[in-house]
Amino acid sequence: MTERQNGTGTSAGRARGPVTIYDVARLSGVSPSTVSRALNNPGRLSADTEKRIREVADAVGYRLNPMARALPTGRTHTVGLILSDITNPVYFDLVRGVERVAAGRGYILILAESQESADLENETAQRLLASVDGLILVATRLDNADIRALAERKPLFVVNRKVRGIPGVVPDVVPGIRAALDHLAEQGHRSIAYLAGPSGSWMSRLRGRTLDLTAGERGMTIVEIGPGEPTLHGGQAALQGVRDSGATAVLAYNDLMATGLLKACRDGGVRVPEELSVIGFDDIFGSDFTSPPLTTIRTPLGLVGDEAARRLIAAVEKGEEGRRTPLATEFVLRGSTAPPRG
């Protein structure tokens, strides 16, 4: 089946009618197979040749037909990305990282959302796998058996989750948490509240366990509050639990919860950081716009997306995961922490 798309006549001198790969080849002065390599597998030809072919293709209105490409190769050059919550700013840089790599390799990104529902996520993943070459699950709420079943059909990566036998990308939370607790210990805090995320969040449990271990090494105690919604509302709803715990500092599962807690403190007359220190997690866009600016633990979200897409495409094209890159969190000091009163 010939790859084609209806187009219009252009200044390149072609009459109106369907645009084919042969039109692009003739006008570029190369063979159809060279055009195919330039458009399907960027990087295999010289930069000048690829540029000329793409300019001609754009001029005559030629576009790749993913379904036509899939017939001889079994591949559509599309990848799927499922997020737990598309409205969460934590995913902005991650999605950009995936898109940047996918586009650079000639792949189209299909984005979907599970709305924190395991059932919806599984249904969406099943439907996507019928038409994509590979799938990335971010903060998945599926159980391990469902994830393995999906991975048997197509290459699959998980982000912010570890599943035995399934490749994934999980930033190292230890450096950021250690630095955050060192900072609080130096200020004199001994009792820390952890605002946990959703009960189905593997990453929330990892951060909680790491806090427990790291705090114990420093003679500090962790009081877990939750599980809670990973949203502004979830942070606002946690204020009473924080007050009841007697903790002098709070580390939230994510920046949204920390920002919600800041608002609840302001509305409830609790001064931050004078009466309560607050630390978020991830360093999302806007976390330094709060009052006071939010101290947080930064996750390299753009690099996480880059890593997941790069290794997924390597698995699609070469049958192997690709090289792993260490990704570590780091502590970012701003204005929402101070020594405890008294």
pLDDT value at 257 more than 80: yes
pLDDT of residue 327: 93
pLDDT of residue 59: 87
Mean pLDDT, residues 332-340 = 96
Of 86-90, 136-140, 230-234, 330-334, minimum mean pLDDT range: 86-90
Q: What does the mean pLDDT of the chain come to?
A: 88
Mean pLDDT, residues 188-208 = 95
Paired residues of 52 in beta bridges: none
pLDDT value at 189 more than 70: yes
Mean pLDDT, residues 6-25 = 58
Residue 206 three-state SS: helix
* Higher per-residue pLDDT: 67 or 273: 273
Of 12-16, 19-23, 337-341, minimum mean pLDDT range: 12-16
Q: Which domains does the chain have, with CATH numbers?
A: 4-71 (1.10.260.40), 77-170+301-325 (3.40.50.2300), 174-300 (3.40.50.2300)
pLDDT of residue 69: 54
Cβ burial 195-224 (10 Å sphere, 16+ → b, else e): bbbbebbbbbebbbebbeebbeeeebebeb
d(CA 290, CA 15): 58
Mean pLDDT, residues 162-187 = 95
d(CA 315, CA 317): 6
**Which has the closest alpha carbon to 279: 252, 261, 301?**
252
pLDDT value at 81 more than 50: yes
Cis? peptide before 293, omega within 30° of 0 = no
d(CA 117, CA 138): 13
Element (H, E) at 3: none
**Residues ≥6 apart with Cβ < 8 Å to 209:** none
- Give the distance from CA 101 to its chain's centroid: 13
pLDDT value at 67 more than 70: no
Angle between helices 92-104 and 301-318 (to 10 degrees): 30
DSSP state for residue 89 in the 8-state scheme: G
CB 253 within 8 A of CB 201: yes
Query: Using one digit for the tens of pLDDT, what is the confidence trace for 98-129?
Result: 999 999 988 999 999 998 889 999 999 999 99
Assign 71 a pLDDT band (cuts: 50, 70, 90): very low
d(CA 26, CA 32): 8
**Residues ≥6 apart with Cβ < 8 Å to 120:** 114
Query: Using one digit for the tens of pLDDT, what is the confidence trace for 202-236?
Result: 999 999 999 999 999 999 999 999 999 999 999 99
Mean pLDDT, residues 235-239 = 97
pLDDT value at 171 more than 50: yes
Assign 5 a pLDDT band (cuts: 50, 70, 90): very low
pLDDT value at 15 more than 90: no
CB 269 within 8 A of CB 243: no
pLDDT of residue 32: 82
Report percent pLDDT > 90 for the chain: 66
**Residues ≥6 apart with Cβ < 8 Å to 213:** none
Assign 44 a pLDDT band (cuts: 50, 70, 90): confident
pLDDT of residue 50: 87
* 330-332 vs 296-298, strand pairing mode: antiparallel
Query: Using one digit for the tens of pLDDT, what is the confidence trace for 123-157?
Result: 999 999 988 999 999 989 999 999 999 999 999 99
**In this structure, which amino acid lies at residue 159?**
V
Count of CB atoms within 10 A of residue 244's CB?
A: 11
